[in-house]
Amino acid sequence: MNNHITLTQAIGGYELAFQARHLSEHTLLDYKNTYRKLVEHIGDIPIASVTRHHIVDFLAAQTVSNKTILNYHTGLSALWTWALSEHIVAEHIIHQVPRPKPEKPDIIPFTESDIKAILNAVEHTKLYTARGGSIVSNTRRAASRDRAIILLMLDTGMRATELCELALHQVDLRNKRVSVWGKGSKQRSLPLSPRTSQAIWRYIQAERTEARAGDPLFVTSTGLPLDHHQLLRLLKNAGQRASIPGVHPHRFRHTFAIQYLRNGGDGFTLQRMLGHSTMEMVRTYLQIAQADLENAHRRASPVDNWRL
């Protein structure tokens, strides 16, 4: 074991290794940010001399949410797993540090009227006063792309990074399927509804007829791949135009999952479609869907309504 390899040197070696693992660009940037913060906190000391107490102190010093702390823990665990396999460290100290439990955020799915308002907002610009005093709006140039994005997220529940990394060849409109690479380099095939397939077809015909099979499906107005931050911004802007708060990619994922269960889908199939390794999140969706059913029954029960 080489006891002199510093944290920075080990991180450099691991970065060469994880480039071959098909990790998303978002995950790679997340890991790099974690490693940079660790080096800033404890210094560029030999990785073999880093102790459990260093890590506990580092995580405790971060003024971020538990979810972000959990992401830091995951990134550090990946680094130490690699270092152990390379015989750079003698033990996996991150396994000795308890994983923080993230706060459970409120899950508020979109309503049907929310989605219709958002779709209308991506079709048109914000209302403005034209010459003569009339209130008008214009059709947006990116309308076909943004409509396809929203329907695709709502129809499949795919993650934001999965959507941004889609290439044209991953979408099979003839068979109404889309193939995505999820967390842990796991590939899954998701069905598409006819309406979503039609929206993607219209976008391709309007904007992407010259693109090749390996090119990104969704691009910016300048032809560059749409990234995670640009996706967040376009959805936020659409939400502001529609007067719908909290429009973000994961809310479409929540909406897909809850509507899937409300409409008779089963939890195990949903788990595979979402790309979850466990049923934990699906159980949360099941509880929400079940509560909806119970509320609907109270409203609709003939025994109660007829006071029998």
Interval 133-182: pLDDT, tens: 766 677 888 999 999 999 999 999 999 999 999 999 999 999 999 999 88
Q: Which alpha helices (H) appear in 124-265, and where do they start and end? A: 143-156, 160-164, 194-207, 228-242, 249-262
Which of the four pLDDT bands, split at 50, 70 and 90, describes residue 292? low
Percent of the chain scored above 70 by pLDDT? Answer: 87
**pLDDT in the model for residue 296:** 59
What is the C-alpha to C-alpha distance for residues 93 and 107, in angstroms, rounded to an integer? Answer: 34
**pLDDT in the model for residue 21:** 62
CA of 158: how far to CAs of 87, 155, 174, in Å?
A: 37, 8, 20
Name, in order, each residue with C-beta under 8 angstroms of 119's C-beta and a sequence gap of 6 or more: 147, 150, 151
Instruction: Give the domain ranges of the chain.
Output: 7-96, 112-250
> What are the residue numbers of the active site?
159, 183, 250, 253, 276, 285
pLDDT in tens, 49-99: 999 999 999 999 998 888 899 999 999 999 999 999 999 999 999 999 999
Contact 254, 262 (CB under 8 A): no
Domain 7-96 shares a fold with domain 112-250: no
Look at 220 and 63; give whichever has higher pLDDT. Answer: 220
**SS3 call for 225:** strand
**SS3 call for 172:** strand
**pLDDT in the model for residue 51:** 96
Q: pTM for the complete prediction?
A: 0.68
pLDDT at 25 over 80: no
**pLDDT in the model for residue 172:** 96
Contact 254, 241 (CB under 8 A): no
What is the C-alpha to C-alpha distance for residues 137 and 241, in angstroms, rounded to an integer? Answer: 11
**Which CATH code of 1.10.150.130, 2.30.29.30, 1.10.1040.10, 3.40.50.300 fits the domain covering 7-96?**
1.10.150.130
Contact 183, 275 (CB under 8 A): yes
Computed over every residue of the chain, the mean pLDDT equals 88
Tokens of 239: 């939400």
**pLDDT in the model for residue 304:** 60
Q: 144: burial class by Cβ within 10 Å (0-12, 13-18, 19+)?
A: buried
**Which CATH code of 3.30.420.40, 1.10.443.10, 1.10.238.10, 3.10.20.600 fits the domain covering 112-250?**
1.10.443.10
What is the C-alpha to C-alpha distance for residues 270 and 280, in angstroms, rounded to an integer? Answer: 12
CA of 212: how far to CAs of 166, 199, 294, in Å?
A: 13, 19, 50
pLDDT at 308 over 60: no
